[in-house]
Structure 1
Amino acid sequence: MDDQQSFETYNPWTVVNVVFEHLADVGLHPTFGAGGHPGEAAADLLRALGITPDNQGDARVSLDIQHTLAQMRAHQLPES
């Protein structure tokens, strides 16, 4: 990819929704992420299409942030 070319990001869940709707419209019954959280599989699909996944809307990111903030609060504001 040319250095001057900008990178596009996309929410993986949007792609999942579009793909699932298309498959359902043609009579298929897709399952996605049967082995765990489907977000990484959706992100892999985007990467295969040359799109950088955006973790906006990924609940795992929010949980990680909340966990980190709780650790910081516990360290900085220990209970007496």
Structure 2
Amino acid sequence: MESTRESFNPWSVVNVVFHHLAAQGLHPILGGADPGGPAADLLRAMGIEPAPEGDRQVGENVKRHLAEIRAAMFEEQDS
């Protein structure tokens, strides 16, 4: 049996996600709450798998991990 794939206008998905997050009190304000997690959860509930390269939180985690590695390496060199 062949599976059918749904396609969505990306702006329609953005609109749905934005209104959903705003209803939860999450607003895109500089320095405010990060709506990334709830937005990804909503997309998954809609059957859409968010792309990791578009997730700011993934990028921040990578940067934090690299900083930890650099700190560990420089501490070893200084000892």
Q: What range is the shorter-chain TM-score in?
A: 0.5 to 0.7
1:62 aligns with 2:59: yes
1:14–1:62 CA distance, 2 compared to 1 (3 A) = farther
- Aligned-pair RMSD on alpha carbons? 3.8
Q: Does 1:52 align with 2:43?
A: no
Task: Report if the CA contact (8 A) 1:33-1:41 is conserved.
Answer: no
- How much does 1:48 deviate? 1.6
**Going by fraction, where is helix more abundant, 1 or 2?**
2
Moved more, 62-71 or 38-47: 38-47
What is the SS of the residue equivalent to 2:22?
coil
For the structure 1 residues 40 and 20, does the alpha-carbon distance in structure 2 shift closer, same or farther, using more than 3 Å as the test? Answer: closer
Q: Is the 8 A contact 1:32 1:38 kept in 2?
A: no
Q: Which residue of 1 aligns with 2:29?
A: none
1:76 aligns with 2:70: no
TM-score computed with the length of structure 2 as normaliser = 0.53
Gaps of 5+ in 2: 4-10, 27-32
Moved more, 46-55 or 62-71: 46-55
Aligned length: 66
- Describe how 1:1-80 pairs up with structure 2 within 5 A: 15-16=13-14, 18-19=15-16, 31=22, 34-35=25-26, 36-78=33-75, 80=78
CA shift in 2, pair 1:53/1:20, >3 Å: closer
Identity %: 37
TM-score under structure 1 normalisation?
A: 0.52
Query: Match of 1:63, as an amino acid?
Result: E
Structure 1: unaligned runs, 5 residues or longer: 6-12, 24-29
